[in-house]
A and B are shown apart, each in its own frame.
Chain A
Amino acid sequence: MQNAATQHSDQTLKLDFPSDNLSVRQALGKVLSLTLSADEKSVVEIVLAEVLNNIVEHAYQEDPTGQIDLSVEQSDAGLRVLVQDEGRPLPEDLTNKPVDYDLNCDSSDFPEGGFGWLLVRELTQELQYERRDGRNILSFRIRKPAEEQA
């Protein structure tokens, strides 16, 4: 069964689940069932869908038996997210290299990819990646939208 060892502590949701699409979707559903504003939900869904899909597709190369650990800590400042896997390392610089594409081009040259990390970088703060003991450790913060407006 997916999503074993689920536990809710005070404000932290900890999930570990295998790297198959159904389990990933269920995990995302659990995170989205936290008490979040509509704006936060939309940001969390975009970011986690990209991050988790990246682990499934690239870190584990579609092998559904990989392990993913996800922790989401809720605080007044927003969400603190920690994602760990044991798949292939991320390409260097992916988390901080600015992706810039020129849209002043003919529409036949518009980019069809490279949007994923751009979305993650745009929607998160304190995005950090570390490779340690064969694990990918990705952490970031998602600020409460109200803070951004303040």
Chain B
Amino acid sequence: MQLTYQDGPAARVITVDNSRIDAAIAIKFKDQMRDVTSDGPQRVVVDMAKVDFIDSSGLGAIVAAMKQVSDGRSFELAALSNTVAKVFALTRMDTVFTIHDSVDAALDGGLANAS
């Protein structure tokens, strides 16, 4: 389980380095997310580009990670694979998350430009 992040003035971009978020790592994911979202800029954008697959436990962990972020801050997702997008759509979770096509789209071109 590997999460890294980079901060701009208004957004923290968290990159998930695993190809899967499944039952095997769901709890670690949630715990590490708590650590990397406990402070920082107001917006949190999670780069999911490397994640090929999530199962129901992984989805639950992503929902839990969003709920851990304090009020007034955002928790957004970017670059979902087809399979991951399918899981979000079927469970209607695509209606409760802000989902961007890419990190660039989320940040309007770059971390420094994000507002």
Q: Which residues of A contact B (CB under 8 A)?
A: 21, 38-39, 42-43, 45-46, 49-50, 53, 57, 103, 107-108, 110-113, 115-116, 118-119, 122-123
Contacts and interface: CB of A to CB of B under 8 A. Distances in A.
Main secondary structure of the interface of B (DSSP, over half): helix
B24 interface: yes
Contact of A45 (B67, B83, B90): B83
15 contacts: A38-B82, A42-B86, A46-B83, A50-B55, A53-B55, A103-B96, A107-B66, A111-B60, A113-B60, A115-B56, A115-B87, A118-B56, A118-B90, A119-B90, A119-B91
B63 interface: yes
Interface residues of B, number: 23
A112 B83 contact: no
Contacts of B53: 45-46, 49
Nearest to B53: A45
Interface of B: 22-24, 53, 55-57, 59-61, 63-64, 66-67, 82-83, 86-87, 90-92, 95-96
Contact of A107 (B24, B57, B96): B96
A9 to B, nearest CB: 28
Contact of B87 (A21, A46, A53, A108): A46
Contact of A42 (B22, B82, B91): B82
